[in-house]
């Protein structure tokens, strides 16, 4: 009788990124029932595990998949549309566009976003909320990605008729999305507030109550513009986070997207209740630079997001580089501290902290026994990656989305050797080209 343990997949001769952000060579990763059964030395793997499928992991770096903590499926078709535009792109370009979304546009958007994410090594994402999210959910379920969906939620402001909702209607829209999709495959549903300026107090409280009742998260665009901070100061005599604290909205399940203009007191409030923050570096550069060293120092879980493809694409590798540069330009140079935001911290933000933003603290984001098997590989056999004195630094400095070779979510390969298995790439790219041809013809 064999004494080996059965597993579904055994990735052999793998170089693995560890929890401490070191790289260990000649490892084997055993995957079973969607989880990492073990990460062990290659030499002992043969006698420990018998796999249904063995994958040769040589010449690649295996690591946890990246998590995009804040993106917008509903803005996928706005790629190239907002760069260099004058301010208030949200009210001038994005909202009018989102008000014309259709189920067909959302289907194409989710297909293209899935493709872009899988190919760039993103295995999990948090959508900030848009319309026809059911259509997006169908596509995301097929893609195999791990993701959070939300309904765009707001009840005040001068919006086109098609996206106008009352507080009750807006919360009910998310209730319906939650009932249909939360817990389906790798999908979850969060409640969402678009921005405090566009949400009445009634809506803010209702959405928070409902998220708590259902045991899910609440997310909001927070402290992104001076105008937004001034709005709550004027209306409630409190800064945005202070206002949410005063009406009982803050908690461990709260995710503040952007978090650029946070006062010391606001950081304290977020830290006290265990709320989370997610920065979107490329997008944020137009507005300000967050004090991330202070957030990290305060123990606040801080992740990274792209803010959707309209803001420079969905590659978190780009965001990590931009983030490193901005942190050093502002906080590092000021104190002549080159390690103000070290590579290890940045990688942790995009993996382990990203897992927390998905509500998967302690179960995702690390190559570790018992964790969910969301794993990517980087093809290291490239002139821009070899040779290197320290691979962890090169991961942040030089790796791009194009170097991602394999992608696995919950133990299932979504991409192997650069070929996406769950979506029809050729068809989606054809549809994308058709979309723009149609657009141009209608101008």
Output Rg (C-alpha) for the chain, integer angstroms.
Answer: 22
Q: 38 or 307, CB closer to Zn ion?
A: 307
Q: 307 or 319, CB closer to Zn ion?
A: 307
Q: 307 or 352, CB closer to Zn ion?
A: 307
Q: 57 or 354, CB closer to Zn ion?
A: 354
Q: 70 or 267, CB closer to Zn ion?
A: 70
Report which of 165, 163, 104 is spatially closest to residue 138, judged by C-alpha positions: 104
Neighbouring CB atoms inside 10 A of 316's CB total 31
Strands 60-64 and 5-17: parallel
Q: Which of 30, 108, 128, 255 binds Zn ion (CB under 5 A)?
A: 128
The region of 127-135, 196-204, 210-218, 359-367 touching Zn ion under the rule CB under 5 A is 127-135
The region of 12-20, 120-128, 206-214, 290-298 touching Zn ion under the rule CB under 5 A is 120-128
CA angle 162-168-171, nearest 5°? Answer: 85
Q: 128 or 347, CB closer to Zn ion?
A: 128
Query: Hunting for tokens 């959508």 — which residue is that?
Result: 127
Helices (H), 120-165: 133-143
CA atoms within 13 A on the CB side of 202: 9
**Shortest Cβ 265–Zn ion spacing (Å):** 24
**Shortest Cβ 326–Zn ion spacing (Å):** 18
Q: 155 or 307, CB closer to Zn ion?
A: 307
Q: Is 110 in the site for Zn ion (CB under 5 A)?
A: no
Separation of alpha carbons 66 and 177, rounded Å: 25
Contact track, Zn ion, 253-292, x by CB under 5 A? ----------------------------------------
Q: Is the CB of residue 367 less than 8 Å from the CB of residue 17?
A: yes
**Shortest Cβ 359–Zn ion spacing (Å):** 19
**Shortest Cβ 40–Zn ion spacing (Å):** 41
Q: Is the CB of residue 198 less than 8 Å from the CB of residue 156?
A: yes
Q: 128 or 395, CB closer to Zn ion?
A: 128
Helices (H), 299-376: 316-327, 333-334, 343-350, 352-357
Contact track, Zn ion, 196-215, x by CB under 5 A? --------------------
Window 357-386: residues binding Zn ion (CB under 5 A): none
Query: Hunting for tokens 């070290």 — which residue is that?
Result: 342
**Shortest Cβ 300–Zn ion spacing (Å):** 19
With CB under 5 A as the rule, give the number of residues binding Zn ion: 2
Neighbouring CB atoms inside 10 A of 337's CB total 12
DSSP result, 241-299 = HHHHHHTT--STTEEEEE--S--HHHHHHHHHHT-EEEE-HHHHTTT----HHHHHHTT
User: Is residue 212 within a helix (H) or strand (E), and if so which, with residue range?
Assistant: helix 201-214
Torsion of CA 195, 256, 409, 66, to 10 degrees: 110
3-state secondary structure of 58: coil
Q: 68 or 266, CB closer to Zn ion?
A: 68
The region of 34-42, 125-133, 159-167, 246-254 touching Zn ion under the rule CB under 5 A is 125-133
**Shortest Cβ 119–Zn ion spacing (Å):** 22
Torsion sign (Cα): 402, 406, 411, 413: positive
The region of 123-131, 133-141, 331-339, 357-365 touching Zn ion under the rule CB under 5 A is 123-131
The region of 96-104, 121-129, 350-358, 406-414 touching Zn ion under the rule CB under 5 A is 121-129
Q: 9 or 260, CB closer to Zn ion?
A: 260
Window 286-345: residues binding Zn ion (CB under 5 A): 307
**Shortest Cβ 147–Zn ion spacing (Å):** 15
Window 379-438: residues binding Zn ion (CB under 5 A): none
Check residue 329 and report its DSSP letter: I
Q: 27 or 73, CB closer to Zn ion?
A: 73
**Shortest Cβ 223–Zn ion spacing (Å):** 13
Residues that bind Zn ion (CB under 5 A): 128, 307
């Amino acid at each position: 009788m064999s004494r080996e343990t059965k597993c579904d997949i055994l990735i052999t001769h793998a170089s693995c990124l560890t929890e401490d952000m070191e790289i260990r060579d000649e490892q084997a990763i055993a995957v079973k029932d969607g989880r990492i059964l073990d990460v062990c030395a290659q030499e002992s793997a043969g006698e420990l595990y018998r796999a249904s499928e063995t994958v040769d992991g040589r010449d690649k770096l295996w690591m946890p998949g990246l998590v995009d903590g804040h993106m917008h499926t509903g803005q996928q078709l706005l790629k190239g549309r907002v760069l260099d535009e004058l301010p208030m792109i949200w009210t001038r370009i994005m909202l009018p566009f989102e008000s014309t979304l259709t189920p067909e546009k959302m289907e194409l958007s989710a297909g293209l976003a899935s493709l872009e994410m899988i190919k760039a090594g993103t295995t999990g994402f948090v959508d900030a909320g848009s319309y026809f999210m059911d259509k997006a959910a169908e596509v995301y379920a097929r893609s195999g990605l791990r993701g959070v969906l939300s309904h765009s939620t707001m009840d005040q402001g001068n919006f086109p008729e098609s996206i106008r909702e009352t507080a009750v209607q807006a919360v009910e829209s998310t209730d319906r999305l939650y009932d249909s999709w939360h817990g389906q495959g790798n999908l979850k549903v969060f409640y969402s507030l678009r921005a405090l300026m566009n949400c009445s107090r009634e809506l803010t409280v209702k959405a928070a109550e409902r998220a708590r009742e259902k045991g899910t998260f609440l997310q909001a665009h927070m402290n992104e513009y001076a105008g937004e901070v001034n709005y709550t100061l004027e209306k409630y005599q409190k800064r945005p986070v202070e206002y949410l604290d005063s009406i009982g909205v803050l908690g461990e399940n709260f995710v503040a997207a952007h978090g650029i203009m946070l006062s010391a007191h606001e950081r304290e409030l977020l830290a006290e209740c265990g709320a989370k923050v997610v920065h979107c570096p490329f997008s944020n550069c137009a507005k300000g630079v967050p004090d991330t060293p202070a957030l990290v120092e305060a123990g606040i879980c801080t992740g990274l997001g792209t803010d959707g493809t309209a803001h420079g694409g969905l590659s978190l590798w780009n965001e990590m580089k931009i983030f490193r540069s901005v942190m050093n330009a502002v906080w590092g140079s000021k104190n002549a501290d080159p390690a103000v935001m070290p590579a290890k911290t940045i990688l942790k933000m995009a993996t382990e902290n990203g897992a927390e933003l998905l509500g998967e603290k302690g179960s995702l984001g690390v190559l570790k026994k018992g964790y969910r098997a969301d794993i990517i590989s980087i093809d290291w056999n490239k002139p821009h990656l070899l040779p290197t004195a320290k691979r962890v630094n090169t991961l942040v400095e030089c790796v791009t989305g194009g170097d991602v070779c394999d992608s696995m979510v919950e133990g299932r390969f979504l991409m192997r050797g650069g070929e996406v298995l769950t979506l029809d790439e050729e068809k989606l790219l054809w549809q994308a080209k058709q979309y723009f041809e149609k657009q141009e013809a209608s101008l």
